[in-house]
Amino acid sequence: MTNFEDIRPYNDDEVKPTIKRLLNDAGFIDTISAFKLAGKPQWLRNLLRPLVKQRLNKELGAINSVKDVQTLCEKYVHRVIETTTTKLSFSGLEKLSADRPYFFISNHRDIVMDPALVNFALYHHGLETPQLAIGDNLLQKPFVSDLMRLNKSFIVKRSAAGVREKLQAFTDLSSYIHHAHRNGHSTWIAQKEGRAKDGVDSTDPAIIKMLYMSQRKSGLSFSEYMNWLQIVPVSLSYEYNPCDLAISEELHQKRSTGSYQKAEGEDIRSITTGITGLKGDVHVAFGTPLAGNLDDAETVATKIDEQVMQEYRFHDSNHIAAELISTEAQKLRDHPLSKQKQAEFMARLDSCDEKMKDIFLAMYANPVLRRLANPPS
């Protein structure tokens, strides 16, 4: 029986040693300095770096448990929400009970903010926050892995090479999720590897198949196990994607050349931009736990997609983009568009290179256009 040492979140007795390790990691101090002093010139960052470290020593020195880590993270997330959003709203939380774990699966628009907002919503509704699946491709520096595992994250070994290694990694992941749920812990995972950069939210059936890999000999059918997991689709919608211009450039390059090579440190820059950039209005919608005949992965994926699409809260940015592509999209708008919102979006669009504007528009328009093509039954 595996103890999941290489992928599980840290326990309370590992918090203090991990924090000590972080405070002695120059990369961690540099990253926090860059985040806290974003927009400041490099010479000032260098000057203030010792003060940042001193503040971190004081702040992190008071942490003794995973719960303390979560409380500190909530404070930082609250600050990000106050400074980068104009409104944050939630729906569907009344469907959830505090006396059982859930498997939350959401669309994926932002590397850090997606799980952070799911956590924030549950935390403020008095529910236990889930353990979070994080790909090891984002954990290239040891301090990042330490930070995530302190904050109830478990590792998905996406870098596993070879068929046998990948199979073992998926089986271990499946076993860990089962272990967490059996012990009363909810979990969260994105519906597919990588963000929905084109605005099309779709669940990868391979993730659903993974869930059952460790349970084939359990005596439960696929459908019975999916029902036991209590799968809750979550639909996150951001009025603005802080990474929209960078994503447009990436997708344009893929379209033009057939490939895109990430620059060194690009994931970290995307994370930083996603956290600190303007998001406008944001909504997090919790769907209804899946139940009934869930006989195969494709059926489960389809049911998740249906809820994510129908629960997605349209923002004016979505309406404006969709109506620039198709006047039919007006059918899904129940209010007049303000001149201010139109001016904001058009200014953002105008800052995009002409050759990429169709990609930029589609990113915002696709949630509306997809629902237009797939009205609720």
Distances (CA, A) of 66 to 17, 30, 181, 257: 13, 24, 18, 46
Lowest average pLDDT, out of 31-35, 146-150, 231-235, 258-262, goes to 31-35
Tell me: pLDDT of 264 over 90.
no
Say if residue 127's pLDDT is above 60: yes
* pLDDT given for residue 2 in this prediction: 65
Q: Residue ranges per domain, the chain?
A: 65-238+263-311, 314-377
What is the mean predicted confidence (pLDDT) over 79-87?
97
- Res. 124 pLDDT band, cuts 50 70 90: very high
Nearest-angstrom CA–CA distance, 122 and 125: 5
Segment 9-16 mean pLDDT: 98
Cα 152 to Cα 118: distance, rounded to the nearest angstrom:
13
What secondary structure does DSSP assign to 252-318, as a single string? HHHHHHS---PPTTHHHHHHHHHHHS--EEEEEEE-PPP-S---SHHHHHHHHHHHHHHH----HHH
What is d(CA 340, CA 333) in angstroms, rounded to the nearest whole number? 17
**pTM score, whole prediction:** 0.94
Res. 219: pLDDT tops 70: yes
59: β partners: none
For 181, residues 6+ apart whose C-beta sits below 8 A from its C-beta are: 101, 103, 187, 228, 229
Instruction: State the pLDDT at residue 137.
Output: 86
- Tell me how crowded residue 119 is: count the other CB atoms within 10 A of its CB: 23
Cα atoms found within 13 Å of the Cα of residue 91, Cβ hemisphere only: 14
Would you state the torsion angle of the CA atoms of residues 67, 159, 268, 13, taken in this order, to the nearest 10 degrees?
Answer: 20
pLDDT digits (tens, 9 = 90+) for 224-250: 999 999 999 999 999 999 999 999 999
User: What is the mean predicted confidence (pLDDT) over 20-47?
Assistant: 86
Q: What percent of the chain has pLDDT over 90?
A: 85
Rounded average pLDDT over 326-354:
97
**Mean pLDDT to the nearest integer, 175-181:** 98
- Residue 167 reports pLDDT greater than 80: yes
373 pLDDT more than 80: yes
Rounded-to-integer distance, Cα 147 and Cα 60, Å: 12
Which letter does DSSP use for residue 127 in this model? -
Q: What is the H or E stretch that residue 188 is in?
A: strand 187-190
Residues paired with 283 in a beta bridge: 89, 237
pLDDT at site 1 = 45
pLDDT over 60 (residue 290): yes
Q: Which two tokens stand for residue 73?
A: 């993270």
Q: Write the single-letter amino acid at 337.
A: L
Predicted confidence at residue 319, as pLDDT, reads 99
Q: State which fold the 65-238+263-311 domain adopts.
A: Glycerol-3-phosphate (1)-acyltransferase (3.40.1130)
Outline where 142-185 has alpha helix (H). 142-150, 163-182
φ, ψ dihedrals at 50, nearest 5°: -60, -35
Residues 31, 276: Cα–Cα separation, whole Å: 13
Structure tokens given for 100: 């059982």
Residues 187-203 have a mean pLDDT of: 97
